Amino acid sequence: MGRSSERPRRPGPDWLWLSAALVLAASLTVPFFLIDVPPVLDYPNHLARYFVLAHPDDPVLAQMYAPRWAILPNIGMDVIGAALLAWTDPHVGGRLLLALSLFAPVAGVVAYSRAAFGRFTYWPLASALVAWNAVFFLGFMNFLLSVGLAFAAAALWIALDRRRHRLCAAVVAAIALAAVFFCHIFGVLLAALLIGSYELARLVVAGRSGTLTIGEAVRTGGLMVLALAPSVALYLASPLAGESTPGTWDVAQKAFVTFAPFTVYSTALTVATGLAVFIVVVLGWRDAVFARGVPLALACLGLVFLVAPSTLKGGTFIEARLALMIVLLMFAGMQPGLPRRQGLLAALVLSVLIGIRTIHVALAWFDHRQDVADVRSVIAQVEPGSRVLVARGHPGHETAGVSPPERALPGLYRLDGHLGALLVIERRAFWPLMFADPAQQPLAVKRPYDRLAQPLGEPVDWPLLLKDSFSASDLAAARYLPDWRKAFDHVLLIDPPAPLQPPPGLAPLASSPYAILY
């Protein structure tokens, strides 16, 4: 299955490795300079919340929203964002936070590989191939930060363990995992899996060599308990500990989301990247070198991926998140065993793919500026304090034939559902879809606006506004529908359908090809 490597070779990176890392980092930052609101699904909504948290005394926004800090496993970015946006332009600070979510997993992979193999190698740098992925484009910023921190926490454990500072490793891990908890619970689970697999593999090696004692096994279990105790206590004290109903299990969907780590706006580029990585891993698997415990961790993640539902405890796209963690762990915890010529060819192909993918994203983000400009041009008519219902001309699950392509992830979801959050950031207006769920976000919607709020909802589909009565499923998705004409001052329509049939009584105030304000 592969060999195990544990002894360090070189203390630090050589100039060629460092140059490659710097070039990769610089190239990945280019798209962030091309647009101030990238086409990332949840990002505008998150940014609006960070903006409100950073300005709790704003005379208009304070009438609608109030900070509500609590023990929640999704507030790492909120803490950073509230501090950062207090003194930066929201779109500058927001892009810094979005870039952090992009770089965190790659940096974590490099840190883990360095600790596990004792040297800097090129294979972890290839994780830049999956820096652009479905989870990133869906806007799961806290999750991505937690994954990067989980790899870093496991790297710290390995580094301290090799120096025989095992108690120190447990204490540091306890603090690190508590911090990871506040980003996302999946990060805690990943860190626990990496550390637990490492320790179990160490005990197995000791058992085979005849040096394992009961005392050592007990001490190892105690250190693991010490490391996990704070994060477990935080979980039990959080709303996440309550019961929840898991989502559906769909074998076809699971097969499809195996490409989620490679997903960009182009299906062809997504498939090409996935196949390229698959071929390199298969060719290098026989003589691959694995870090201690990584085969077990990969097996566990694969099993969880197979049995996991699509949603769980308010989290969505669970399978896509797991698929990303599996691929990142392959970059972090193994070294493919390729002959020199094959290795150089693989490095060339993967480097070219990284460049092509980044150029593809950069061009898509550049094109998206027109959609953002269209929305801004029509919401310029909205007065501060106004209440605006946001509708969409096409359902979120319709991704086939979407043009331009950056409006959707092929086969997954449209990415323009939260552009209405610009109403909060730039017009200080109320919209009902602000992420302000008491079990997930540190923000509360004040009365009387709370009666109009649908914190985890999607924009209503335009045809719903043509109806005179609403079904139970309609009201579950948008409880503000029965009196929407009286409750809201404006309606913002994103991506109008053709032909366009507005509800009776609505008069257009401003229009553009992509957005209309009524």
Among 485, 483, 477, residue whose Cα is nearest residue 502? 485
Phi, psi (deg, nearest 5) at residue 179? -65, -40
**What is the pLDDT at residue 242?**
66
pLDDT of residue 7: 45
CA dihedral 437→443→449→454, nearest 10 degrees, is -20
Collect all residues with Cβ–Cβ distance below 8 Å to 127 and sequence separation of at least 6: 105, 106, 109, 110, 328, 331, 332
What percentage of residues in the chain have a pLDDT greater than 70?
96
Q: Where are the alpha helices (DSSP H) in 286-339?
A: 294-307, 318-333
Residue-wise pLDDT tens digits, 60-81: 999 999 999 999 998 999 999 9
Closest CA to 122 of 276, 277, 344, 282: 344
Average pLDDT over residues 220-237: 94
Q: Count of alpha carbons within 13 Å of 299, Cβ hemisphere only?
A: 7
User: For residue 159, what are its two tokens?
Assistant: 């580094």
3-state secondary structure 304-317: HHHHCCCCECCECC
Residue type, position 73, single letter:
P
- Identify the band that residue 8 occupies on the pLDDT scale cut at 50, 70 and 90: very low
Q: Give the pLDDT score at 6.
A: 47
pLDDT tens-digit map of 95-150: 999 999 999 999 999 999 999 999 999 999 999 999 999 999 999 999 999 999 99
Helix (H, G, I), strand (E, B) or coil at 500: coil
Mean pLDDT on 345-360: 96
Q: What's phi and psi for 41, nearest 5 deg?
A: -50, -65
Distances (CA, A) of 25 to 113, 122, 133, 251: 17, 14, 16, 36
What's the chain's average pLDDT? 92
Q: Give the phi and the psi of residue 104 in degrees, each rounded to 5.
A: -55, -50
Residue 313 has pLDDT above 80, yes or no: no
pLDDT digits (tens, 9 = 90+) for 12-25: 678 999 999 999 99
Q: State the average pLDDT over residues 323-344.
A: 95
pLDDT grade for 253, boundaries at 50, 70 and 90 = confident
The CA-based angle 329-332-333, given to 5 degrees, is: 80
Give kind and range of the element (H or E) at residue 4: strand 3-4
* Three-class DSSP labels, 174-243: HHHHHHHHCCCHHHHHHHHHHHHHHHHHHHHHHHHHCCCCHHHHHHHHHHHHHHHHHHHHHHHHCHHHCC
Q: Tens of pLDDT along 270-287?
A: 999 999 999 999 999 999
Judged by average pLDDT, the poorest of 193-197, 295-299, 377-381, 464-468 is 464-468
Token pair, residue 158, equals 């390995």
Pairing relation of β-strands 443-445 and 413-414? unpaired
Give yes or no for residue 408 having a pLDDT over 80.
yes
pLDDT tens-digit map of 169-207: 999 999 999 999 999 999 999 999 999 999 999 999 989
284-312 pLDDT, tens digit per residue, is: 999 999 999 999 999 999 999 999 888 77
Question: What pLDDT sits at residue 370?
Answer: 97
- Residue with token string 């550390």: 195
What is the strand order of the sheet 515-517 is part of?
460-461, 388-392, 490-494, 515-517, 510-511
Supply the pLDDT for residue 89: 96
pLDDT value for 260: 95
Distance, in Å, from the CA atom of 31 to the CA atom of 38, rounded to the nearest integer, reads 9
CA distances from 516 to 65, 219, 392, 468 (A): 26, 65, 10, 22
